[in-house]
Amino acid sequence: MSVGDGLPVLVTGGTGTLGRVVVARLQREGKTVRVLSRRERPETGGGIAVDGTEAPAAPEWVTGDLNTGDGLVAAVTGVGSIIHCATSGSQKDVQEARRLIEAVREAGVSPHLVYISIVGVDRVPFFYYRAKLATEEVVQESGLPWTVLRATQFHDLIARLTTVQRLLPVTLCPRGFSFQPVDVSEVAGRLIELASGPAAGRVADMGGPEVRTARELAQLTLHAYGLRRPVVPVPLPGKAARAYRAGHHMTPEHAVGRIAYAQYLKDKAARPAWQ
């Protein structure tokens, strides 16, 4: 089953950075959307706002907890696809994926499970990446039709690395690091495209249109937000840092994104990133 079969598509983490964009795009395309969230439905009554616009109608809302399993059976009942965007940033991701799959089995459905992961999870020994890799394995062994997409870092995250330091006299960045940031809207579009088709397994990675050094990205961010201070590269020790310096978190051969970081900043700079 898929988005195109007329059945609802469930978006986990539907209020997060990626999930809210997925939800809004699905709504604009006229799809039936169900949002899974631990929170009650917002009182606004409208769709989820993205980039200053409003989705055309409120999605179906299901309150459930991936950590405990509460509400998950109701959330997955009758869906054709699940776009799994929820993440805790820790090893809890693995258990939460298991809870989701257990609920699917209990509900007696077999939706297409689409999971968003990160480029380099199998090559960068970072705790969060290990969790994402282990979650990929849970998805692959679920017995469900599945698709896994790995993407590079979102523009939003790269900007935050600088803006969180706005009160410091200097801006620090990791020495020897480069990034290949991709726009969240483009990743959302790709996830919907994948969910609309048959299960494809592990698909080609998705990266932004260009590779820039961490220092260049910090300087671009400071300039966009009218902040003036030195950018100081600092060395980071450890195996994970070596893997980052080696570029294992990037995929220049799959630079399919079109929105460059400078364009993202131009579009966002009217509203400070820390607001």
pLDDT digits (tens, 9 = 90+) for 25-64: 999 999 999 999 887 776 654 445 555 555 456 789 999 9
The verdict on residue 7 lying in a domain is: yes
The verdict on residue 189 lying in a domain is: yes
- CA atoms within a 13 Å half-sphere pointing along the CA-CB vector of 140: 12
CA 200 – CA 197 distance, rounded (Å): 8
pLDDT digits (tens, 9 = 90+) for 141-198: 999 999 999 999 999 999 999 999 999 999 999 999 999 999 999 999 999 999 999 9
The domain total for the chain is 1
Q: Taking the complete model, does pTM exceed 0.85, yes or no? A: yes
Classify residue 3 by its DSSP letter. Answer: G
Classify residue 147 by its DSSP letter. Answer: E
The verdict on residue 102 lying in a domain is: yes
Residue 27 lies in domain: 3-152+184-202
Q: Two tokens at 206?
A: 């998705």
- CA atoms within a 13 Å half-sphere pointing along the CA-CB vector of 193: 8
Q: Two tokens at 127?
A: 């705790």
CATH number for the domain that contains residue 98? 3.40.50.720
202 alpha-carbon distance from chain centroid: 16
CB 255 within 8 A of CB 180: yes
CB burial of residue 6 (10 Å; 0-12, 13-18, 19+): exposed
The verdict on residue 137 lying in a domain is: yes
pLDDT digits (tens, 9 = 90+) for 77-92: 999 999 999 999 889 9
| Cα torsion angle, 64, 192, 33, 10, sign | negative
